Every structure is written in structure tokens, then in C-alpha cells.
Structure 1
Amino acid sequence: MKFKKLFYLFVVLIFLTACKNEKGHVIRFRTGEIYKFETLSVEVVTDEEKMTTREIFSSKDNQEKLDEIITLLGNSQVVDQGYSYASIPGYESLIIKLKDKNKEDTIYMYDSIRDGNTNKFHYTFYGNLDNQESPTLLSDDDLISEIKYIVDK
């Protein structure tokens, strides 16, 4: 009888382990790439000379706002790093940090100016995304203004 109870307990433990919810979020970009992360934070530059930043949003704060930011980022196209700009973040920039237990990647959103050649906004992704190192995100929308609006709601 003890053996039978231990066997059922073991089966239940295996089942519960298999059903365990993974903690995390997913961005599905318009071009098909998938990026998984656990936490997201949005920062602004508070001092351009010292390059200090201040966090204005954390994914721990509000799931609804996080979902809106993920949707906005997912509407971006992922292209190679040849489209990125050599820029330094300033007061109008946003810095998005994506973290999980193994890594931290960053999206730098430098300014709200459309590129003359592509007529899109360019944002630099520092990290690896589907075997691309530091790709560029192209968006039809000004994500800086949109994300600031979501955070300020």
C-alpha cells in the first residue's frame, strides 16, 4: 500500500512540474523574430554629460502597460545593424532594458525623427535576436512618444 501511495505521489509531482507556469513575457516582432524576457524597464537620461538615467517604468508596476509596450515593440521590423545610427542617448531618448536570469539586452531609442531613406523610426537593439547581433528595429510609429504616453497614463 505504501508503494502505491508513493507511486501516485511521484506521478502527481511529475505532473505538477510539467504544468509549471514559466515566468516571462514574449515579444513577437512583425518580421517573425521572437524575444523572451522576464522583466522590462524604461529609463530616461537625466544627465547627458554623466550619462545617468532614471527608471520611469518597471514591468512589476503594471501588467496592462507592459502589454501595451510589448504590442508596440512587436509592430517593429527587425533588420540588420546596417540600418542603425551611431548616436549618444540624450534627454529625448528612451532606454528599454530587457532582462532574464541569464542576460540583459537594451533597446536604445535615440530620437523621434524619421529616417529620410526608409521613412521609418530607427531603434537599436543591443543584444542577440534570432542569431542577429545588435539588429535595428524599424517602426512606422514614433515609439518614444507612444511609450512615454503609456507610462504617463
Structure 2
Amino acid sequence: MNGLAWRLMPGDPDVEDLVQDVFIQALDALDRLTEPAAFGSWIGSITIRTAHKRLRRKRLKLRLGLARREPVDVDAVISSSAPPDVQSELRAMYRLLDELPTESRIALVLRRVEGLQLAEIAEQMGLSLATVKRRLDAAETKLGERLAVGGER
């Protein structure tokens, strides 16, 4: 869960607070978990929803001038043992994240970094499969454009 939070909000100083909020929400809702075997997926979806709310709030604060945009330190997020082509693609993706709408951002990370299938992403995000496909298509198009013009800005 901590890793997922970090990958959704890389380098954000609020990641630890997000994880604590997720645990509080999970403890409050634990009696509603009907399938104990689904605990990982269940707590993952809580993490995703909580990150989504924080990202939207952060974007609003940026628009209102109540916060400053802090660039993602991609070197802290990307493993030095990753192949160069993977590193290049991840650099482009992480630099693009702040430009994407929140749902597209989360869907792209879940697909490209977490390796989830479309149906899993839809379930985790609480969206329809068609909505996830549209969000991912928009994000993938922007990522493709970024990679086509040299990968990084």
C-alpha cells in the first residue's frame, strides 16, 4: 500500500499522511469487508480513492495559488537497474503526470507501473470499463506524443 501510494504521488510529502488516512478508513470500514481474501484489492482501492481526493485537492490549491508545483524527482522513483528504454519511458510518463487530469493520471500509473488489466483498474477506481479506456487512451496519446518528440522536456 505504501508503494502504491508512492507511485501514485511520487515525491509528495503527503504520501505518509495518505497512508495513515488509508489505515484509518480501512479500520473504520473493516466490518464491511465481506471477502477476507480480497483484502489486498480492497485496501488498494481505498488507497487509490484517497490519492485521487488528495490529487484533486492539490490541483485546486495550485489553481488558487495556495500551493506551488513541485517537480517529481524521477531519479528517486525509477530504479537504476531498469533498462534504458524503460527508464526513458518512465521519465516521460512521470514528467507528464502533473499535466494529466487526475483520473487519467491514476489510470496510467495503474496500467503502466502497477501492470493492472483494464477490468482491474475499473474495479479499483470505481469507474466503468469504458471510462477507464477513455482516460487511458487520452493519457497514452499524450505520452506517445511526448515520447515521439524526444521523450523528455
The interval holding the TM-score normalised by the smaller chain is under 0.3
More strand by share: 1
Q: Give the structure-1-normalised TM-score.
A: 0.28
Q: Give the structure-2-normalised TM-score.
A: 0.28
More helix by share: 2
More contact order relative to length (CA 8 Å, sep ≥ 6): 2
Task: Name the larger-Rg structure.
Answer: 1
